[in-house]
Structure 1
Amino acid sequence: MKIKDVVKTFMLSKKKIPYNQLYTKWGEELDADHILEEYPRPQLKRDNYTILNGYWDYCITRKKEKPVKFDGKILVPFSPESILSGVVREVTPKDYLWYERNLSIDKIPAGKRCILHFGAVDQYCEVFINNNKARRHTGGYLPFSVDITKYITEGNNKITVRVIDLTDTSYHSRGKQVLARGGMFYTAQSGIWQTVWMEWVPEQYIKSIRITPSLDDSCIQLEIFMNHWDKKTQENDIRVSIYEDQKLIQSIKDFGTSFIIPVKEPKLWSPENPFLYDMVITAGEDKVESYFAMRKFEVKQDEEGIPRLYLNNKAYFHNGILDQGYWPDGLYTAPSDEALIYDIQKTKELGFNMLRKHIKIEPLRWYYHCDRLGIIVWQDMVNGGGKYNMIWCGYLPTIFPKLVTKVKDNCYYLFARANKKGRKEWCYECKKTVALLYNCPSIAVWVTFNEGWGQFDAAKAVELIRCMDKTRLIDQASGWFDQKGGDFNSVHNYFRKLDVILENRAAVLSEFAGYVCYVPRHSYSQNIYGYKIYVNKEQLNDDVQKLYNIEIKKLIKKGLSAAVYTQLSDVEDEVNGILTYDRKVCKITKVDVPQLTE
């Protein structure tokens, strides 16, 4: 029986059928015995791993103590609010969400450590192994791991997870999740929403790597970070092998953990030719597979003195789409790897070369597919803070855009950032995000803040990121409340005539359009949210083509360096997507935007 049929039976038994529940084709075909089985971390891949997705016991309680009896089964890694989880229940800030499953270990190999990995758990969680607290973690978007070796035994073991999710009632990072969904804010989701897996590693093992390509010097810098490293023994040497089209082109052996490795006559990465080099790293008894690309992002003046975005030393227009990363059946979690691939491939088929990942961090496989398929990524930091004043953060900047350019973002109360702990937590998660995604070749831009939501000290945020990553560009304040820093003059424009204001930073239209077209039987509700309504796809497509063929082409000649169309897919009340929410209908044909390199 398919997941869709199981869920339908469950919902009928509860007499709680959601209004116009949509499924993607991948959700309809989901097999509970084979849930997101791909290795979750392509840039640090090992062979000895076990995916722990599938049915876990779950319970939602109001008590902190572990329940004697669980409510039923939940399909991990889908959140309980999602239809694919089989639960379809909201977790409130007063609730404790419990998970539990058995872990059978036939034999504990000598000299090995057992590492348990969680891709993401929203928001705060504690992990217990055989009723022993092994780890706690705060942050609903970042992965974490725990060494469970000392807690496990041969035979049956038990993994228990306790979760609290305050959603939008606290200062924690939350993205566009709200408890009272509607308009441009969406259904909240809780708990485990990315893959859970375990792997066996040696006593000394590679925890992470950092790859910095230098196109101008034809080399990469490779830094290897071990859990601990004993340099005294001969066995602890490190070997690095680099492959081009499966042919070994470089092999290095040393006792250190930092390398400068030449890459002669490098093949350059671009959306038109997304070439990746494969790499194998052996450190003592540990071995991982990875990859990298040779590419360079920068802003510099063209021959006419206009600041432009450059890729690999050539002017390159970023023609992008805003991507919320929501799914009607899985919420934050795509039903399958194929679903992730579809969105990226469709973006390229429609003539775009960039996706702006909007206020969400995706599983690492999404970035891997962007790397290998060739799509540039603008990565937003996840917003947080107290309750936003939408008059201040939404209406006033739209009506009086010049007024807000004079506002300093150290007025914390105006931006719902009065809580010092919340500001400190955002900075910590910002650094963790850069570290997590640093090796992804496709990421060209870090977006620190969006439309003033939880914005504070944006100039310091830019410095924070620059200290960690000098290879990428930074959009300091996307939309408004510009603090005159970063690499872009970044404008959102949904209601005024499109224009370009040239200065010493690159001019980018980081959100625009938001054209609405409601498609019956493929829309979430009868509520319609967007900025210009079209009664059919034909009228919508005509105006989108005119927008690009006339308006955007003019603006590119005038100095526009990037444009981000809102948006890739419908999301709940928002029906301003190029695709419907269920990804079954595409509303437009391919757009034609000339590249500056032509």
Structure 2
Amino acid sequence: MKPVATQLRTPWADEALNADSPLAQYPRPQRERDEWLCLNGTWDYAIRPSSSARLVNEYPPDSYDGRIRVPFALETVASGVTRELLPDETLFYRRLVELPPAWRARRVALNFEAVDYLAAVWVNGQLVGDHRGGYLPFSVELPKAERLEIVVGVRDPGPAGRQQYGKQSEKAPKDIWYTPTSGIWQTVWAEPLPANAITSVVATSYADLNGFTIIADTEQHCRIAVRVECPDGSEITVAGKPGEPIEVALPYIRPWTPDDPYLYRLEVSNGTDRVISWAGLRTVAIGRIPGARRFERPAILLNGKPLFVNAVLDQGYWPESGMTAPSDEALIFDLQQLKDLGYNGVRKHIKVESRRFYHHADRLGMLVLQDVVNGGRPRVGIPRSRIVMALDWQTRDKTRRGLAAAGRDSQQNRYEFEADMAAMIKLLRGHPSIVMWVIFNEGWGQYHTARLERRVRRLDPTRLIDPASGWFDQRGGDFRSRHRYVLKLQRPPRRDRRPFFLSEFGGFSLATEGHQWEGDGKFGYRFCADSASLGKALAKLYREQLIPLVRHGLRACVYTQLSDVEIEANGLFSYDRQVLKPDADLLRSLNAELDAAFDAALTRRK
């Protein structure tokens, strides 16, 4: 498959295509240090037939094929290459680096925010580390030297490997599957480390919102000091030990909400290290609506108050740069535009986004429903999906046959999925914007659902869980979660008293001339002729089907989707973010009517 060299450009394409150091903002806002060095920009690259069964046994090449722009995947226009990496090939990157003189006697970490899928790192000819997994950060320690030759080797088996691959297609993009992502696709950077580095900081809100429990980890035993800046300008300083709860009682309470996303600034130090972190004071739970009838469905409670979650499906793809946002401003644009249109959340779909994305969601006040990246294989394809939606099929996800159908018959495959899931939760658990974990989507690679729900609950008891989004419900989780396209929206079964979550719906499509991806075909669930007909269809869907479901227990919904993605033409925005297809005032009005219906349902019970 030859990737499409699209001519579509977002408003931020210039940074992706031309900046000396694209995406040069600090990449880890939840644990920020003063000193760092961005290594994004131009690297040498080479693609060679793999000569060893194991990547770490490869030898970096003597010569290179050309130049590649990091951190954009090999297949993207922004990389400057636009080439597929085959499963039997190895991609090499090389860059010569001179560290600041003050760093040369210190420990220095080389950090990779994401490399898909297998990575090995050589420095001055010596292997210094390797990593498996395409969506999570990893680090290696650099040797002490004045001049460093950094070489990164990458292999990517693609979806055929059944590892966590998200929405990447094994062949040409088709339907809801997209161009593969190979190689470095998030920021590469270096930082000097102190003798005893702080390795994590996580703040958890008290149930009564009167303070935080903070746990900070360090490399060695020491005393930790935490300084908290309060909204009234005062400061609180407390001390404790690594890995143990440090309690912070707050004299001034300002909870985090979408309308007031206040973040407390934390300074954590241990004598040799100092980092800045952020915390939002918020709780999320499922509970009864005050005054509700005994058998009425409960609601999502944010800080103890009922909240309707009105979110949009966010795939996180861009025409010139694939899964990598072309700029930091592009991430902000997507979140802020949705907020301005009246939505209060996004479902980050089958992808772990850059850490800056979650920080922006924290400070802008956008709820995030976070998917675990899928592996294995889908149980059913697009042609049979309408049958599954109509009949609400169940499936056995623990039998040998069920494991084979989901591409999960390998114990190693299951182990890697669960390890990646746990690592993702650990990575993101400090973000107040994230209120839900979604374990499986539409049966893709789904297995042992009840057990994995229990595991996620142990890893993070502070958030909601949708263990089987859309199809193949196992009667667990916090929601009755359904997807519904084309078919009329339906009430949930009366016997099921879980909150009703319409976790995907809509998908109305409009091809926008001059803003459509150049690949073969178009995909959508229902095509409209123009913006006016799209608006009429949306108004009819919301007013006649969606909004009436609120009185029957609808507590959250996710509209598909934020933007077009490749051949998918069902975005609110065109793929290049240049066109908002429906009228903005109409969307604001429909979202206001949805909120009003939920408020009215609460008022009737008082």
| Structure 1 counterpart of 2:387 | 398
1:221 to 190, 194, 213: 213
**Residue in structure 2 matching 1:241, options 195, 203, 227:** 227
Whether contact under 8 Å (2:201, 2:216) holds in the other structure is yes
- Once the two structures are superposed, residues 278-309 of structure 1 have per-residue CA deviations (whole angstroms, 9 ceiling, x without a partner) of 11111121000001011111111221332211
Cα displacement (A) at 1:182: 1.2
CA 587–357 in structure 1, closer or farther in 2 if over 3 Å, else same: same
Structure 1 stretch displaced more, 517-526 or 376-385 = 517-526
CA separation in 2, counterparts of 1:418 and 1:213? 40
Indicate how the Cα distance of structure 1 residues 18 and 173 shifts in structure 2: closer, same or farther if over 3 A, else same: closer
Query: Which residue, out of 352, 358, 363, partners 1:361?
Result: 352
- What is the aligned-residue identity percentage? 38
Q: Are residues 331 and 17 of structure 1, via their aligned partners in 2, closer, same or farther at CA, if it must alter by over 3 Å? A: closer
Deviations 1:151-203 (A, max 9, x none): 2312x111110000011111210000013121110000100000011111211
Q: Deviations over 1:1-54 (max 9, x none)?
A: xxxxxxxxxxxxxxx994653111101354321311110000000011111101
Matches within 5 A, 1:272-287: 272-287=259-274
Q: TM-score, normalised by structure 2?
A: 0.91
Q: What does 1:547-562 align with in structure 2 at a 5 Å threshold?
A: 547-562=541-556
Aligned pairs for 1:459-538 (under 5 A) are: 459-501=450-492, 502=494, 503-525=496-518, 527-538=521-532
1:104 to 94, 98, 101: 98
What stretches of structure 2 of length at least 5 have no aligned partner? 51-57, 601-606
Q: Among residues 347, 352, 357, which one is paired with 2:338 in the alignment?
A: 347
1:260 Cα deviation from its structure 2 partner = 1.0
Match for 2:595: what amino acid?
P
Q: Aligned residue for 2:38?
A: 51
Q: Which amino acid aligns with 1:383?
A: N
Aligned to 2:538: 544
Q: Counterpart of 1:40 in 2: which secondary structure?
A: coil
Candidates 580, 585, 595, aligned match of 1:586: 580
Matches of 2:301 and 2:479, distance apart in 1 = 13
Aligned residue pairs total 572
In structure 2, the residue corresponding to 1:186 is in which secondary structure? coil
Shift of 1:528: 1.6
**1:166 counterpart SS class:** coil
Which of 142, 149, 174 is residue 182 of structure 1 equivalent to? Answer: 174
- Give 4+ residue runs of structure 1 displaced > 6 Å after superposition: none
TM-score by length of 1: 0.92
Q: Is the 8 A contact 1:383 1:454 kept in 2?
A: yes
CA RMSD of aligned residues (A): 1.9
SS in 1 for 2:447: coil
> Do residues 21 (structure 1) and 11 (structure 2) align?
no
Q: Structure 1 residues 396, 355: closer, same or farther in 2, change over 3 A?
A: closer
Contact 2:504–2:559 under 8 Å retained in 1: yes
Match of 1:251 in 2: 237
The answer (yes or no) to whether the contact 2:118–2:132 under 8 Å persists in 1 is yes
Give the distance between the partners of 1:434 and 1:255, measured in 2 at CA.
23
Q: How does 1:275-354 map to 2 (within 5 A)?
A: 275-302=262-289, 303-304=292-293, 305-354=296-345
Kept in 1, the 8 Å contact 2:209–2:255? The answer is: no
Give the 3-state SS of the residue equivalent to 2:465 in structure 1: strand
Residue 210 of structure 1: aligned partner: 202
The letter for the 1-side match of 2:194 is: P
Matches of 1:116 and 1:19, distance apart in 2:
31
Q: Which amino acid aligns with 1:569?
A: S
- The equivalent position to 1:66 in structure 2, one of 60, 64, 73, is 60
Which residue number corresponds to residue 163 of structure 1?
154
Alignment equivalent of 1:423, drawn from 414, 427, 430: 414
Q: Deviation string for 1:568-595 (max 9, x for gaps)?
A: 0000110000000000000122332215
Q: Is there any run of 5+ residues in structure 1 with no aligned partner, and where?
A: 1-15, 232-236
